[in-house]
Amino acid sequence: MPTPASQDTFEAGAFHPDYGTRRVAGSLNIDGGMATFTSDAGLFAFPLTGLQIKLGGASDRLVFLEHPNFPKVSIFTSDHAILDHPSFAQDRTLTRARDRIRRRKLVARCITFGLLALLIGAVAGVWFAKDPMVRAIARQVPVEWEQQLGDTAFQQISARHKLITDPAVQRQLDLLAKPLLAVVPQDRYPFTLHIIEDASLNAFALPGGNVAIHSGLLLAADTPEEVLGVLGHELSHVTYQHGMRSMIQGVGLFAIVQAFLGDATGLLAVLANNAPFLLTQKFSRDFEREADDQGFRYLEAAKLNPRGMISFFEKMRREEEKMKEQLPGGEELEALSFLSTHPATAERMARLEQLLAKSPRKDGFTKVNVDFKEFQQALRASLSAPEKGKRPAKVDPKSGK
Ligand SMILES: [Zn+2]
């Protein structure tokens, strides 16, 4: 494509003593060695020889043309194409001035892009640092406050559900969990285990250390290791402060950054009286994975066979499928479900299998020193009458075991 014939006329404006203090709009023509400005108010011209060009105006948006012989006159245009006019290439002074302007524009552009890159970097940095920031802030939340929040949420649950308080059953559960709890750091809060009378296979943990297991889960488990696998996962939700971190994440990046910089008032205002949130939240995929991994490590450290964790996942998976068959509409599982639907159960199991394969303690796990059948019998005996009949059948009665 041929380059278009060089442009000679540009939209322009001018200051001229004849026009008073106002500027006048018109057009500028470069031709025949002259720069000619035409407007309704009249016409005047500069010779190109001796012409001075420079940038000016806000952000150097304008090109100014001035001539020492006409010190009070100034022509300007926002059309930077004027710098490419061939007439300017013929005059060495003008060429130099033009090159100076181009360099200046280049530097300005570099600075602009540099600043933009910095800004994007800063925003991205804040975004990627969001998780560590949330983690750091969660650590700063006073323990008592976190416990109070968890206790309030637990009170709301226990008002609607029956707790099994039989001391003999509780003692056996505590005994069962003892080796696991021994390796879980409890410097921040002690853990309290609860049994909720409910036939569903569920367990959940609240900030501050309340961990609840449904009777249905305890009765559906075939081995104490399966119960311990679920517990390891739930305890990890507590030690990793997943409930608190979800709440903090929920209040938005601005409040987080603010809190991180030392002003937590906005964050606290949003979090105050937010205990009900804990009952409806679903943990993120990352948090579930983190709880699986850490739960696995707790079991490993306690010399408890993590195989139980995997086999209970398998039970849950079959239960899930059964529920889907029974409820073709797909009734939502409870929000606090141990087995949240994401990440997929199969994916979580595969991950745990990998961890087990890599585990330095592939065998050499200690036997749990609890009569599990006796514990289940005592638990069943403590259920209220209607629930006893509703004991969930083995997930797959045909599978034997
Ligand atoms: Zn979980």
DSSP 165-228: --HHHHHHHHHHHHHHHTTS--SS---EEEEE--SS--EEE-TTSEEEEEHHHHHH-SSHHHHH
Chain length of the chain: 401
Mean pLDDT value of segment 356-384? 88
How remote is the CA of residue 7 from the centroid of ligand 1, in Å? 70
Q: Which residue has better confidence, 121 or 138?
A: 138
The mean per-residue pLDDT over the stretch 225-237 comes to: 95
Confidence of residue 101 (pLDDT cuts 50, 70, 90): confident
Task: Give the distance (Å) from ligand 1 centre to CA of residue 317.
Answer: 14
Q: What is the pLDDT of residue 140?
A: 79
From CA 250, how far away is CA 282, in angstroms rounded?
12
Ligand 1 mean position, distance from CA 365 (Å)? 24
Q: How far is the CA of 288 from the centre of ligand 1 (A)?
A: 5
| DSSP output for 276-298 | HHHHH----HHHHHHHHHHHHHH
Lowest mean pLDDT among 1-5, 17-21, 152-156, 194-198: 1-5
Annotate 189-223 with b (16+ C-beta within 10 A) or e (fewer).
bebebbbbbbbbbbbbbbbbbbbbbbbbbbbbbbb
Q: Tokens representing 52?
A: 């001075």
pLDDT beyond 60 at 5: no
CATH number assigned to the domain covering 9-111: 2.30.29.30
304: exposed, middle or buried (C-beta count within 10 Å: 0-12, 13-18, 19+)? buried
Ligand 1 center to 142 CA (angstroms): 23
pLDDT band at 401 (very low <50, low <70, confident <90, very high): very low
Distance CA 66, CA 46 (A): 8
10 Å CB burial of residue 17 (0-12, 13-18, 19+) is exposed
Instruction: Answer whether residue 334 shows pLDDT above 60.
Output: no
Across the beta sheet with 192-196, the strand order is: 192-196, 210-214, 203-205
Which pLDDT belongs to residue 277? Answer: 67
Q: Write down the pLDDT at residue 110.
A: 82
Compute the distance from residue 340 Cα to the ligand 1 centre, in Å: 7
pLDDT(399) > 50: no
d(CA 216, CA 205) in angstroms, rounded, equals: 16
Find which of 157-161, 171-175, 264-268 is predicted with most confidence, using mean pLDDT.
171-175
Give distance in angstroms: CA of 378 to centre of ligand 1.
Answer: 27
Confidence of residue 340 (pLDDT cuts 50, 70, 90): low
Burial (0-12, 13-18, 19+ Cβ within 10 Å), 261: exposed
Domain layout of the chain by residue ranges: 9-111, 130-399
Using one digit for the tens of pLDDT, what is the confidence trace for 183-226?
Answer: 998 878 889 999 999 998 889 999 889 999 999 999 999 999 99
Alpha-helix runs per DSSP H in 83-91: 86-89
Q: How far is the CA of 232 from the centre of ligand 1 (A)?
A: 10
Per-residue pLDDT at 330 exceeds 70: no
Residue of higher predicted confidence among 88 and 340: 88
As a whole-number percent, the residues of the chain with pLDDT over 90 amount to 34
